[in-house]
Every structure is written in C-alpha cells, then in structure tokens.
Amino acid sequence: MRLKETVVYCVFKKYAQFQEEIIIIACFYVKIFKSIPVHLVFYFPWVLTLRRDKMDNQWFRDRKEVFLEQLFQRSLFASAILNKQEIILDINIQFTELFGYSRTEAIGAFINDLIVPAKHELEAATYKSVVLNQETMRDKTKRRHKDGTLLDVEAVGSPVIIDGEAQGLFAMYLDIRVEEEALREMNRLLNMDTLTELYNRKYVYDRINELIKQGNKRFMLYYMDLDQFKEVNDTYGHEAGDHVLTETSRRLLEALGNCGEAARIGGDEFLLIAEDDPACSWSTIERSLRTASHLPYYWKGEELYVVASLGTARFPEDGKSGDQLISAADKRMYEEKKQRRIRRNPVRQDP
C-alpha cells in the first residue's frame, strides 16, 4: 500500500465505526479544527450516500485508490505527506494555492526549506518530535510563501503509522490570515485610545502589572497632565482640544523613541513606561518629555498656552504594585503643578 493511501485509510478505518452514515474526512477535520463550521461537510456531498455496508464490499475496494486520492486533493486544507526526514512525498492543490509551490517543485524537497521561516525552525522541530511520538499536534503559527510573505496559519500534524511505528507525517495548514487580522484589529481597538492612537488605560495598567510580575525588571513611570487644557476647550472648542491632545501624543512618542510605551489614560492625562535599557537613559527621556511639553501649540494661527506637569516613579524603589507606583507618580506630578501655580500667582506679602 502506498504511503499516501495509508495516511488517509488509517483515518478512514479509525472513524468508520463512528455512526451508520459517516462523512469520513470531514469528521477527521472537524475533530481537529473545532472552529470549522459544520456546514463545511457539505463540500463532500458525494460521500453522504456511503454506508458501512458499502465500505467493505468490492465496489469500494475497486475504487479505493481513486476515492482516497480525491479526498486528499479536494481537502479544504493545504496538505503535505512527509517521510520521517520531512521530505515531501506529495502535496495537494490547496498546498500549491497557499504556498505557491507546484507539485514538481515541492516533491522531494525538505519542507522546512520551502515554508518554515528561520525563526520558526526550532518550533517546527518540536512539532516533528511530537508527531513522530505518535501524537497529533495543533498550533497557530506562521509559514512562508514562495515569494517570502509570512502567512498566518493553523498547523496540524498527524503521524503516519505503519506496522505500529510512525513512518512519516501528515501536515495540514489552514489559512487564517483573515481571522488573525480581524483579531489584531479587535485587540487594537480594545487596547488603543481612538483619538490619539496611543495605548489606553487598560493596556498600560495591564502592562505595568505584567512587568511587576516578571520581578527582575526595573522600569520608570512618567505621569503627565496638561495644564490650562480646560481653558483651551472652553475658549476655542473641543476641536482645538482634540488638536492639543493629538499633538501632545505625537510629541510624547517622539520623545520616547524606541525606549518606551505611551498611553492616554483619560482626559488630558498620560502615562508612559520606560524599561531599564542600557540604550535608553531615563533622565534623557525626562528631559525630552519636559522639552516637548513646553513647546507652543497653535490653533488656526493663534498660539495656545498649554504646558504639562510631570511626575515620575521607579520600580521597585517607589512601590511594589501598580497602584503604589501610579499613586507616587501622580503625587509628584500634582506637586509640580502646585509649585507652578505658586510661581504664577505668588502670595503677596504685606509691607
């Protein structure tokens, strides 16, 4: 029996007793890809009339090779049959459509050379080890198209077992680019402030707690609040206020560079994180932030008077929890705001 035939036939025999009328290959895929809608089984309508009594008769035995070949080629998944060394023995049409390699190009090639990105080679070796241990693996990962494009895929590996030993692998790939892009967009909307496109309160608070849990990483928080922002809104309208917020966000990102993350946590308040990095000086970041916060704003040709107050807190010196750190930075920021007000409006001394 040929290796490819053995692969699908093993699946067939394993599930042949599932019920009186069975959709053979669809049941196999639905079992592995739980997210595949049930209606997809109707891509195999000609299998629906196949009953157990016909599975064992001469009719099926005479047509088995053609039948199994069509199951392999008409699969919804990009599939490849590999030997133990992961040399490709055969691929289906969907493999060509997904990865761009013709059957002639693929057969005889080491699959990693064709579709596995360099940074995923260790991951692929782990998959192989699991499958040759006669287990099935499933994971979301990335694979490479012939033109170099990285594709989001769901990968499933299943062993080809002959005489009780794994003699090869059956590799299947489901294109999940649309699903992953939708998920990334959903996460972006969940974690981003829609006006400024900085991170939002939820993200930055979760990020702080994540860094604290790591335990061995020092980091700095910068808490910034805009002074006279309410006056801008009251005098020039919310459109001018939005301009100030978006321009502030741009300046903060420019001041941080690649040294941290910035979030708008509400109104005119911003929270920034800078991790301990030899390439990034916390004092330099603070100077850059102060310089950026004192640059003039303009709205329709008119200069707006807006400056920012800044407070800092360092982990672990200023707190062991997110709330403690944010409170420490917040207090220092309000102390600076208070001192600025005193300088602007000094108490008059009687002669």
pLDDT tens digits, 144-195: 999 999 999 999 999 988 888 899 999 999 999 999 888 888 888 899 999 9
pLDDT in tens, 66-125: 877 888 888 889 999 999 999 999 999 999 999 999 999 999 999 999 999 999 999 999
Convert the pLDDT of each residue in 230-286 to its tens digit: 999 999 999 999 999 999 999 999 999 999 999 999 999 999 999 999 999 999 999
Q: What is the pLDDT of residue 58?
A: 67
Position 68 scores a pLDDT of: 78
> Do the Cβ atoms of 158 and 169 come closer than 8 Å?
yes
Of 140, 173, 143, which Cα lies nearest the Cα of 158?
173
Sheet with 269-275, side-by-side order of all strands: 260-266, 269-275, 219-227, 307-315
The total of other beta-carbon atoms located within 10 Å of residue 95's CB is 25
3-state secondary structure of 37: coil
Residue with the bigger pLDDT between 349 and 68: it is 68
- Please determine, for residue 22, whether its predicted confidence score (pLDDT) is greater than 70: no
Q: Is 334 exposed, middle or buried (0-12, 13-18, 19+ CB in 10 A)?
A: middle
- pLDDT for res 76: 84
136 close to 156: Cβ distance less than 8 angstroms: yes
pLDDT at 31: 36
Neighbour count for residue 71 (Cβ, 10 Å): 20
Whether residue 57 is predicted with pLDDT greater than 80 in this model: the reply is no
Element (H, E) at 289: helix 282-293
pLDDT for the residue 325: 97
pLDDT at 39: 39
Which DSSP symbol is given to 106?
Answer: H
Q: Could you tell me where the DSSP H helices lie in 56-176?
A: 58-73, 93-99, 103-106, 111-115, 121-132
Query: The domain 192-344: what is its CATH number?
Result: 3.30.70.270
d(CA 316, CA 142) in angstroms, rounded, equals 37
> Could you give the residue range(s) of every CATH 3.30.450.20 domain in the chain?
3-180
pLDDT band at 292 (very low <50, low <70, confident <90, very high): very high
pLDDT score recorded for residue 59: 67
**Which of 39-48, 58-67, 204-213, 279-288 shows the lowest per-residue confidence on average (mean pLDDT)?**
39-48
Return the number of other C-beta atoms located less than 10 Å from residue 70's C-beta: 15
Q: Give, in order, the Cα–Cα distances in Å from 37 to each of 21, 34, 41, 139.
A: 19, 8, 8, 18
* pLDDT confidence of residue 260: 94
pLDDT class of 345 with cuts at 50, 70, 90 = low
Cα→Cα distances 314→209, 216, 255, 262, 325, Å:
14, 13, 19, 16, 7
Q: Which CATH architecture has domain 3-180?
A: 2-Layer Sandwich (3.30)
Q: Which residue has the higher pLDDT, 185 or 350?
A: 185
Every domain of the chain with CATH number 3.30.70.270 lies at: 192-344
pLDDT(25) > 80? no
